[in-house]
Structure 1
């Protein structure tokens, strides 16, 4: 997938002086955007902006202050005449390592005022600017930076976990509210990433980087640039129909639930240059997705749903493509439930057979990505469809944890078979999603592009 085309767009990135925010500002600037690098540390933000060149400005902002946020948006509009994207990245944590009962009100509020209520204020202000008076604005995108801590409790970091869990709810609710105005709202949930915050935990002796990496299925702590790629996707035109999505970029941490550490990661093979082939399986929506890949001038092989009815037939077909092309970059399963079948068991069995055949190829070559589209609309009954989606999603998460040691990523997209789902499948299949595995992305109602 080519990088986002953001030429002429005006973007605000909070927490832009370092880490994920700085990497995001750098990437979006490289994509052609005008960037406001906003941070509590105005001097560091100014240094970062100067590195990017004269098309970009810095702004000292306290995201916990409504007046400071208002001044930030005004500065963006004054400099660039518009506001197209807000990246809500500013965040803080309590470094003392105390249980919640030992926190006082001020320390608790200090974290939530930045991570949650500050994000909410900034999001509402951005929506007001993007929607315009009486809904006459040009639309836009808001990307909230949550955390893997949003999915599970972190003892001695309770206020941080609570604040980031709130960001997930904020994202979904604001997406519903903003959809009518042509504004998309999504979130990325990073795991451990080499940032100043993580560096402070390591320096304080509260995080052992080797121990942390050993608990991550991909076997390593992420890089800020990898999270920036996810943010750029969600902010840009490649995700023009995606809203309300939460995309985990944590090396599989959120998916892993084993009582033992994940298997040690083997030395992954280096994909040869000619291994840019993507295989898309499935009629109808699968053909549509294949067309999206073809539009990028990539080498794409489309296989009909019929080949997925027999695992041995599919495995033979995939082996043939491997021999023909010398390597497979990604396999996208959009085959759906078997034709004429409305049963839960046949639908899940097909998922298993396709995954097993794909794993044989990808794990054998020790690189690549597997992405599954989970619909369930063909099943008889809402209960069966819900059971299918949850079971199929957990199947993909399990594959991600088992295949990570082989250098293979596995993700899924769940929702209606529309353009937003197709765009997300495309991203997850590509190299820009290098730290995403074990993620099941719920793609909801789509946004009318203005």
Structure 2
């Protein structure tokens, strides 16, 4: 009984703040995001409007996700999860899809994104072992990423995926630090939740296993890893097939349709979409474009999209940040934790930049990888912990990037509020 009690306590300590410092971080971001999301939910209908299934802002599918969980070929098990989210929100709002319904949705997103910040903070503090002031600086920088700001009030797959991926990376890092195996149960649970919300993330669950001690030198350890992967895969596949009544042919036909639909955009240069959307838009807001949309049932509405960057300064910002990230990777090339983060990021680069899936809207996919940036920044500082001069230069660089990021994103959010004030009151 004491063993079960210990496991439960450790589980809650893993997910939630477990020290006063972590609690302070959580409350700070929950209050900041909460004020933003509460105001939007109570004064505007953009978070959820029963007439608008998708694309009210930045290509998010709020209503579609809440009502159906999204398309089964990309989000195979999210249907079940969002049933709970919707029913809980309806319970709080008394069965009405009104301002209270939107407020509940916004606060669920707010709590999840704030917990995501806490997971990154825990990683910086407990795995990389950075000093407190540096961990705080990096999470403040991370906290004003456009992805975190938008997802803090947006009910979407990306909101929960971002939290689950950052949580799993922290959990896997602890296991590797302690030279322990990731149990089959934990692996299966991670595969079902992370892969169930977005199928392309399923493979990321198994990346940490590649770095378990002596995995490729001991055939028993390798066999055990294969067994754990098999168990997790079988559980996921059976649940997926059950979701579609075992009509597996639909997976291939629908996947082809989705790939064709989201991969053939020729109106913008590929290099610019990669910089402005994939590497940039999920961190630093670009300008916005307003578009006329309809719900295919006669209702006309306005949609807001991200544009390509229009001045040299955003490109300069992204170039500096990417330089720091690449620098961190090569400086820590032999570090297994850094390799796990980099390989995970590489999966998204292949999907969106090489295969071009959703490249024109790749800013919304930041929920799959933006946590990589603060972690790699943390490892860069760690690599130069014995070089005060370089630490000072890196700190100044991050502070300047933070100031520019904060100013830019506050300005763009003011434009977002104008859009809501004009079209979504």
TM bucket normalised to smaller? under 0.3
Structure (1/2) with the larger strand percentage: 1
Which has a greater percent of helix? 2
Larger relative contact order (Cα-Cα within 8 Å, sequence gap ≥ 6): 2
TM-score by length of 1: 0.25
TM-score normalised by length of structure 2:
0.26
